[in-house]
């Protein structure tokens, strides 16, 4: 198993202020949901909220965007339940009930601990439940890393409004590409090419924050043979799900169920 690349170049304060927008917010549990605090290092835990649909339902481990918190997904989880899918949403340091302060390198390390907890907590309930990874925007970095390191645990990877190339992040923010960033770019490209899991990419055609060319580039670069790109007409970075609601969830439902259901199971 390859070592985690060194993301410390992205932990400069002038970069972090553009990458993370932490919110210390939390809401009461909706019916049936469960809250967890996942330890990631001494004195630091990450808040997560689990929205189970059924013991044998497909389940998505979800890493959200940079201005969101896990409990924002209370209403969104109901839309996943309508598709017959459970949702497990993870925060970052400084978000929700999580301790610490967010850094890029911390986010990437913490994803490993959250993955381990997710596998133990979900798998112990039902060993046969099909598991998926999904990252929105900033969360795409975490899920691509996990998909490349632990493909045997998941049935597929979903990217929404994301880009897994951290060097691009520096470029968009106007920072010079130092050698360490170039090394990260090469590591990111190698990781994307090495992916073998089935991949679903969803992106808004009008996304000006992370342009749709990033989605097409990922689609063309990823090593997976089983891959699909869904571009949502009129969708921008923060409304792609709402603008393309039917198309968005039809793609996710088809992706989640066709990989494990026997004939007659898909509604």
Query: Cα 97 to the chain's mean position, in Å?
Result: 19
In whole angstroms, what is the distance from residue 185 CA to residue 31 CA?
43
CB 35 within 8 A of CB 77: no
Q: pLDDT tens for residues 9-39? A: 788 888 888 889 999 999 999 999 999 999 9
According to DSSP, the residues that pair with 36 across neighbouring strands are 48
Tokens 């997710």 belong to 118
Q: Does the pLDDT at position 64 exceed 90?
A: yes
The pLDDT confidence band at residue 265, using thresholds 50, 70 and 90, is very low
Q: pLDDT tens for residues 123-143? A: 766 678 899 999 999 999 999
The CA distances from residue 22 to 3, 48, 65, in Å, are 28, 15, 10
Domains in the chain and their CATH numbers? Answer: 132-260 (3.40.50.1820)
Residue/partner pairs of 181-189 with CB below 8 Å, 24 or more apart: 181/9, 183/5, 184/5, 184/6, 184/7, 184/9, 184/10, 187/5, 188/144, 188/164, 189/165, 189/221
Q: pLDDT tens for residues 201-247? A: 999 999 998 999 999 999 999 999 999 999 999 999 999 999 999 99
In whole angstroms, what is the distance from residue 179 CA to residue 93 CA?
27
Q: What is the pTM of this model?
A: 0.92
**Mean pLDDT over residues 74-101, rounded?**
97
Per-residue pLDDT, 200:
98
Q: Does the pLDDT at position 96 exceed 90?
A: yes
The pLDDT confidence band at residue 185, using thresholds 50, 70 and 90, is confident
**Mean pLDDT over residues 33-58, rounded?**
95
The pLDDT confidence band at residue 258, using thresholds 50, 70 and 90, is confident
Helix, strand, or coil (residue 40): strand
CB 77 within 8 A of CB 52: no
Q: Which residues contact 143 (CB under 8 A, 6 or more apart)?
A: 61, 63, 111, 133, 134, 135, 157, 158, 159
Q: Which residues contact 97 (CB under 8 A, 6 or more apart)?
A: 24, 26, 35, 37, 45, 47, 91
Higher-scoring residue by pLDDT: 114, 183: 114
Helix, strand, or coil (residue 233): coil
């Amino acid at each position: 198993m390859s070592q985690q690349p060194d993301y410390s170049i992205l932990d400069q304060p002038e970069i972090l202020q553009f990458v993370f927008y932490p919110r210390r917010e939390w809401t009461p549990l909706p019916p049936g949901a469960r809250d967890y605090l996942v330890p990631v290092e001494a004195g630091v835990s990450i808040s997560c909220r689990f929205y189970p649909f059924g013991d044998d339902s497909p389940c998505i481990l979800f890493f959200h965007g940079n201005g969101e918190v896990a409990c924002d997904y209370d209403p969104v989880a109901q839309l996943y339940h309508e598709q017959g899918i459970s949702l497990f949403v993870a925060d970052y340091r400084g978000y929700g009930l999580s301790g610490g302060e967010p850094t890029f390198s911390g986010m990437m390390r913490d994803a490993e601990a959250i993955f381990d907890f997710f596998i133990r907590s979900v798998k112990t309930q039902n060993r046969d439940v099909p598991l998926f990874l999904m990252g929105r925007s900033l969360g795409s970095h975490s899920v691509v890393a996990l998909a490349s390191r632990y493909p045997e645990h998941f049935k597929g990877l979903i990217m929404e409004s994301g880009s897994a190339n951290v060097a691009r992040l520096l470029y968009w923010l106007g920072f010079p590409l130092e050698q360490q960033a170039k090394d990260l770019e090469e590591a990111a490209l190698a990781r994307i090419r090495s992916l073998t899991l089935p991949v679903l990419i969803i992106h808004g055609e009008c996304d000006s924050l992370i342009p749709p060319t990033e989605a097409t580039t990922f689609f063309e670069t990823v090593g997976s043979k089983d891959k699909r790109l869904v571009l949502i007409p009129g969708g921008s970075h923060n409304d792609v799900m709402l603008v393309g609601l039917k198309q968005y969830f039809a793609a996710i439902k088809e992706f989640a169920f066709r990989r494990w259901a026997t004939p007659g199971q898909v509604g």
